[in-house]
Amino acid sequence: MSLQEQFDKAAKDVKNLKSLPSDSDLLELYALFKQATVGDADPANKPGMLDLKGKAKFNAWSAKAGTSKEDAQKAYIAKVESLVASLGLQ
């Protein structure tokens, strides 16, 4: 199975977890997914001060700047696999 196929499978599996991961796990998943699919975050799109959720997501994504698409995909797959192991699938 290619890296892209593994990534796509992980993206489907994460939607079928038995319970919701912690906020920190969700931010990590978001950041890795965005880095793998979009690339580095654009500072021009940084959310405003009052958008706390958007700001947290943007900051998590920005922390992954410089990570290659392949490395982000590998890290995302590993994170999903660990969540599946701990939380299980529906």
For residues 27 and 36, give the distance between their C-alpha atoms in angstroms, rounded to a whole number. Answer: 14
Taking each helix axis from N to C end, the angle separating 69-87 and 3-13, rounded to the nearest 10 degrees, works out to 40
User: What's the pLDDT at 81?
Assistant: 97
Q: Which amino acid is at 80?
A: V
User: Are 36 and 76 spatial neighbours (Cβ–Cβ below 8 Å)?
Assistant: yes
User: What's the pLDDT at 20?
Assistant: 95
Domain ranges of the chain: 3-87
Q: What is the dotted CATH code of the domain comprising 3-87?
A: 1.20.80.10
Taking each helix axis from N to C end, the angle separating 23-37 and 69-87, rounded to the nearest 10 degrees, works out to 150
Contacts of 69 (CB under 8 A, 6+ apart): 35, 36, 39
> Mind listing the pLDDT tens digit for each residue in 9-44?
999 999 999 999 999 999 999 999 999 999 999 999
